[in-house]
Structure 1
Amino acid sequence: MAERALSFGAVARAYERYRPGYPAELAERVLDYAGAPVRTALEIGAGTGKATRLFAGRGIAVTATDPDPAMLAELREHLPAEVETREGALEDLRPDRQYGLVYSAAALHWTDPAGRWPRIAALLAPGGVFASFGGPARLADPVVRQAFEEAQAPEVESAEVPSPDGTPPENEMQWPGAELEKSGLFADVRQFVVPQRLTLSADEFVGLLSTISAYLILPIPVREQVFRRIRQVLPETVELDAGHTVHLARRR
């Protein structure tokens, strides 16, 4: 997992180009849940700032953190100067201040489970909100998806990151919801899905794949061979189901 977590910096520009942004509805629902104005936020694993835009664009003072300097450098190119950045993983952060919102977009699974929730709680003001959101972008057409999966095998069995706590996909409460409830540090845990549908060209879809850790850790010749096979089975445009599973909780 550590190798995958630190694989993105080499493709920071492609990450910014091909990774989709987040829908406005997602930020609206997080802030509605907060129930009061949120003035400060800390982002865990900000990457190139796809989710930073959601909250900084609403007048919130966001501190964006990421362990990869190349990802933060790309973020700084695209976001206002008032967005503060800090290089470091969650485990490196010190609770020298507290925030009204701490959130992580498609990055929480890269954090160390040992002490994860006490660390996050320490960064939140009492009553502050924690939000985690993300999800895989899956090909919507089952026939295209089957051809895609066959084309990437056997080098890539699945590009999705498995549930960090082993929660089966059929469970009603997905990770990290149950962990939040069990921690004793958070209340009012909620889970819901914000839908998102995308239409990409086949080349854009392969570009998206080029930013996913399961492919990045392959040797370059193998990766290129896999991408060639995938491109050959794709129609000129593909539809993606890219809905985001959101978990919200409030610090006790």
Structure 2
Amino acid sequence: MTERALSFGAVAAAYERFRPGYPGELFDLVAGYAGRPLRRGLEIGAGTGKATRLFAERGVAVTATEPDAAMLAELRKHVDVRTVRAAFEELPAGERYDLVYAAAALHWTVPEGRWERVAGLLEPGGVFASFGGPFLLTDPEVERAVATARAPFLDRDDVPSPDGTPPENAMQWPGTELLESAWFTDVQQHRIERRFVMSASDYVGHLATISAYLELPAEVREQAFERILRALPERVEVNADIMAHLARRRAGRDG
């Protein structure tokens, strides 16, 4: 767990306002893959509960885990579930769930032993799901203008693939790791298309919840946002597709 992973609490209210929720189509995808009732679920890095609501409102008894107290406090305003303030690596062994999932949070977990820990939290045959995706400006000219405005402050504002998988690869991370894990089988990758049109100020509000900007000194961060805002038209279209990875815990392994 890095400092960057713990940077979101300072903007918990903005995170709740500017990060979108998840569509019912995503739950249907996970539930259909499971092929059996999802009664108990564990969420890794729940944040303000964007994905928590999706599963809890559809009958899953969710335990939402999150290391940041401010993010958990914001989550509790919006959904009534069991919460645990802890990083994934700090979760005690013992309890097992039908579903373990992470919404735009898995890349913050420690790679060593990751899949054995996930498997240890799942019933045999239980489902693991990871999903999320960046906000990408659909207009190439607008994207270039934003990149130019951002350049004095940041070379890039995304989080690179943790295992170095290039964007053009057919299977993306964490599917690449799941395919190699002896703990999981039936690895699938799905894309759910999403497009949003938002104001320039709301787009910058979303940028204010991205860790790359949160690492900048406050004064520098505000300068970056001012330049980016000036580079934007009044309204922008973004590609916010969700990339979902699903896998099943092998029933024959102990752990």
Q: Note the 1:223-234 alignment, pairs <5 A.
A: 223-234=221-232
Displacement after TM superposition at 1:154 (Å): 2.6
Q: Are 2:97 and 1:99 equivalent residues in the alignment? A: yes
Give the CA RMSD over aligned residues.
Answer: 0.8
Letter in 2 for 1:141: D
Cα separation, 2, equivalents of 1:230 and 1:56: 37
1:101 CA drift (Å): 0.3
| CA distance, structure 2, for counterparts of residue 156 and residue 22 of structure 1 | 29
Q: Shift in Å at residue 96 of structure 1?
A: 2.1
Deviation at 1:155? 1.2
List aligned pairs for 1:187-202, cutoff 5 A: 187-202=185-200
After TM superposition, where is structure 1 displaced by more than 4 Å over at least 4 residues in a row? none
Match in the other structure for 2:139: 141
Structure 2 counterpart of 1:5, one-letter code: A
Uncovered stretches (5+) of structure 2, i.e. residues with no partner: 251-255
Q: Which residue of 2 aligns with 1:40?
A: 40
Q: 1:210 aligns with which of 200, 208, 213?
A: 208
Equivalent residue in structure 2 for 1:117, among 115, 118, 129: 115
Matched, 1:3 2:3: yes
* CA-to-aligned-CA distance 1:93-131 (integer Å, 9 cap, x gap): 012210000000000000000110000000000000000
Partner of 2:65: 65
Q: Deviation of residue 200 (structure 1)? A: 0.9
Among candidates 226, 240, 243, match of residue 245 of structure 1: 243
Q: How far apart are residue 199 of structure 1 and its match?
A: 1.1
Q: Is the 8 A contact 1:7 1:216 kept in 2?
A: yes
Scaled by the length of structure 1, the TM-score of the pair is 0.98
Aligned to 2:150: 152
Instruction: Kindly tell me the number of residue pairs found equivalent between the two proteins.
Output: 250
Cα deviation 1:181-203 (Å, max 9, x = unaligned): 11110010000111111111111
The separation in 1 between residues aligned to 2:155 and 2:194, in whole angstroms, is 25
Equivalence for 2:50? 50
Equivalent position of 2:14 in the other structure:
14
Q: Which residue of 2 aligns with 1:23?
A: 23
Q: Is the 8 A contact 1:23 1:196 kept in 2?
A: no
CA distance in 1, matches of 2:156, 2:209: 15
Match among 216, 219, 222 for residue 221 of structure 1: 219
Q: Match of 2:50, SS?
A: coil
> Helix, strand or coil for the counterpart of 1:2?
coil
Q: CA deviation at 1:238?
A: 0.7
**What residue number does 1:177 align with?**
175
Partner Cα distance (2:146, 2:27) in 1: 32
Identity of aligned residues (%): 64
Mapped partners of 1:164, 1:154: distance in 2: 25
Q: What amino acid maps onto 1:71 in structure 2?
A: M
